[in-house]
Amino acid sequence: MTDNAKYDQMAVIMKAMAHPTRLFILDKLSEKEHCVCELQELIGADMSTVSKHLSVLKNAGIIDNRKQNNQVFYSLICPCVLDVYQCVIEVNKLKKY
C-alpha cells in the first residue's frame, strides 16, 4: 500500500469526526465558538466526557481553543468541515436500504 502515512494521517482526522457527539459539537462550533459548559449543557453527558471529545478534535487539528477567565472556548479551525457534512448527507440520501 503506497504512501501509507498519508492515509494514516487522514484516518486520524476522519476518526476524530466519526462520532455522533463530536459531529454535533462541530455543527455547533460552525455557528460560533462555545465554552465547554455550554456544550455540556447541549449534549447532556458528563463534563469529563465532553472534555475528552473536545481534546480528540483538538489533537486531530480540527478545532482550537482559547482561555478566558476560567472558561475555555473552542472554535472551528477549518470551515471546510461543513463540506464534509454536505457529502455525508448526500451519501445518506443516495443510500438504498
Residue 11: C-alpha distances to residues 4, 6, 44 (Å): 11, 9, 28
Where in 5-64 is the site for its own copies (CB under 8 A)? Answer: 7-11, 13-15, 17-21, 23-24, 27, 42-44, 60-62
52 makes contact with DNA (CB under 7 A): yes
Q: How far is CA 31 from the centre of its chain?
A: 13
59 closest CA partner among 46, 74, 38, 44: 74
Cβ closest to DNA, residue 69 vs residue 92: 69
* Binding-site ranges for DNA (CB under 7 A): 15, 18-19, 21, 35-37, 40, 45-49, 51-56, 65, 67, 69-72
